[in-house]
Structure 1
């Protein structure tokens, strides 16, 4: 754990791989494997294993939900490997071709274990919105308290919202504090954390922020580095607001967590633009 193996594919690919291999040997096979009862038994036992280890490790429900698709996906691929092997043997054909799949899965489990097996980790997401306001009016809106009381995307709703936002002025060097409280088991196993966001650069048409500290639950998955907000005049009454969020991906494999985190950060940017810049209607 001191080497952060819990962030590598060794956990998210390797563990499902070995669990699936063990179950394929332990669970009694029918004479004619099919995608019904036998696979159902494998899914049931794999669910028991996953939930049991999650309880022992005090994992939260968010971690379990994030882990389930790749966990059952690899189990399904290994089950297909077994079906293919049985089919080739029944046709008196060499089944060694079927072993390519588990070999590929096994090798992919070492992504992120050493730097040479890692892929790109630096990301940025940019979203924009055009509103009927001048840059000056928009900056005045930013000074107002942020409530974040809009309806959230399904993925974002799994994560806790800030329970307190301590924001000062909109001046360069100002530090905003954001507090989070997350109940890993819905009502207990509580985790508290906070973010410190510095207004690094503030100009008439540009604001840059830097995350100085992040101990929130989100920091288990990625490192938020900072944001940029640009105000581009479209005409005398309308302004285009461009929000860019920079972050560093911790978790592997990249083919799984990369798209999920890009989607989540993109939805976060849309939510912030809607909350901060769209005028409230009565």
Structure 2
């Protein structure tokens, strides 16, 4: 018996076979993802649930549990290889780092669920018990992967997120503040910091019909693979206590994830010269599944509204 076998690790021939199969898995997964893009399923749960499900099944078949390893260390072992597969496919498909970061939580969550299923079935087999009910978990994952693929299996995509702030100034002073240039170098929430800030904002007056242009530059690979985009925002209705805007065009990186419809700003003056400002952002969710991207995008839009309220609406004199 070789030294590696005595220690409970994989023999070298097994490691070579494993590495070859991992390489094949990266290639096959990349082809599957490319096909989903070709058939316009890139926003469906087939990509964000189905692909991790396929990778998890393949890895659990490829990776044999080393002798004497605990179940916890086996999961870490499988997670390491799943991370390698994800990075491999990302490199082949030239994915940007934002896509990778957003994909990682759901990717590893599906792997964890399949690991639980694998462990559950193994223990039931050892106890010679029926494993039929354990298969409900992969069935639920498969069903979830059909969201956005089957027309009847979709959830509401229209969202409206509101945030408010009370400012020690009358409404006219706050509206005057909106005409001032926005400070672009500001601290942002960790999720928002993944996305580029505007490089230039062309804003005119606050008159109805005015169009504001916002330009973005995004480096998909931190410093290279640069993409440019822009937003055109029209002020469709302006009054003393209400401003409504509509997005006419959005070619920024954000448009890959959602369709921004517009905003509503309400000014509610109070007796002590304070004003409650409520900002509502309307958008359409593109990505499935809803149980992951719904809360994630609501959180991001909520933080965006809070940032805009604190940076755009509060007069410099306060």
TM superposition score category, shorter chain reference: over 0.9
Which secondary structure state, in structure 2, belongs to the residue aligned with residue 46 of structure 1?
helix
For the pair 1:124 / 2:156, whether they are aligned, the reply is no
Contact in 2 for aligned 1:10/1:110 (Cα 8 Å): yes
Task: Identify the structure with bigger relative contact order (alpha carbons < 8 Å, sequence gap 6+).
Answer: 1
Deviation of residue 236 (structure 1)?
4.9
Measure the CA separation in 2 of the matches of 1:207 and 1:160.
26
- Aligned pair partner of 2:112 in 71, 76, 80: 76
- Aligned pair partner of 1:211 in 243, 247, 256: 247
| 76-85 or 145-154: bigger deviation | 145-154
Deviation of residue 279 (structure 1)?
3.0
Q: Which residue of 1 aligns with 2:276?
A: 240
Q: Which residue of 1 aligns with 2:265?
A: 229
Deviation of residue 94 (structure 1)?
0.9
Measure the CA separation in 1 of the matches of 2:231 and 2:105.
29
- Deviations, residues 220-259 of structure 1 (Å, cap 9, x unaligned): 1111100000111112511111100000000000000000
Q: Which residue of 1 aligns with 2:73?
A: 37
Measure the CA separation in 1 of the matches of 2:306 and 2:39.
35
Measure the CA separation in 1 of the matches of 2:199 and 2:299.
24
- Aligned pair partner of 1:255 in 273, 284, 291: 291
- Aligned pair partner of 1:178 in 214, 218, 239: 214
> What is the TM-score normalised by the length of structure 1?
0.96
For the pair 1:59 / 2:90, whether they are aligned, the reply is no
Contact in 2 for aligned 1:121/1:248 (Cα 8 Å): yes
Which secondary structure state, in structure 1, belongs to the residue aligned with residue 296 of structure 2?
helix
| 209-218 or 106-115: bigger deviation | 106-115
Q: Which residue of 2 aligns with 1:274?
A: 310
Contact in 1 for aligned 2:174/2:314 (Cα 8 Å): no
Deviation of residue 280 (structure 1)?
3.3
Which secondary structure state, in structure 2, belongs to the residue aligned with residue 7 of structure 1?
coil
- Deviations, residues 93-130 of structure 1 (Å, cap 9, x unaligned): 01122111111111110011133111110000111111
Figure out how many residues of one structure are paired with residues of the other and give that number.
282
- Aligned pair partner of 1:104 in 123, 140, 151: 140
Measure the CA separation in 2 of the matches of 1:164 and 1:35.
52
- Aligned pair partner of 1:27 in 56, 63, 79: 63
Which secondary structure state, in structure 1, belongs to the residue aligned with residue 152 of structure 2?
helix
Q: What stretches of structure 1 of length at least 5 have no aligned partner?
A: none
Measure the CA separation in 1 of the matches of 2:127 and 2:245.
64
Contact in 1 for aligned 2:177/2:314 (Cα 8 Å): no
Deviation of residue 281 (structure 1)?
6.2
Deviation of residue 42 (structure 1)?
1.0
| 30-39 or 72-81: bigger deviation | 30-39
For the pair 1:16 / 2:68, whether they are aligned, the reply is no
For the pair 1:159 / 2:195, whether they are aligned, the reply is yes
Measure the CA separation in 1 of the matches of 2:233 and 2:201.
11
- Aligned pair partner of 1:48 in 84, 87, 107: 84
Measure the CA separation in 1 of the matches of 2:274 and 2:64.
67
- When Rg is computed on C-alpha atoms for both structures, the one with the higher figure is 2
| 229-238 or 7-16: bigger deviation | 229-238
Deviation of residue 3 (structure 1)?
4.4
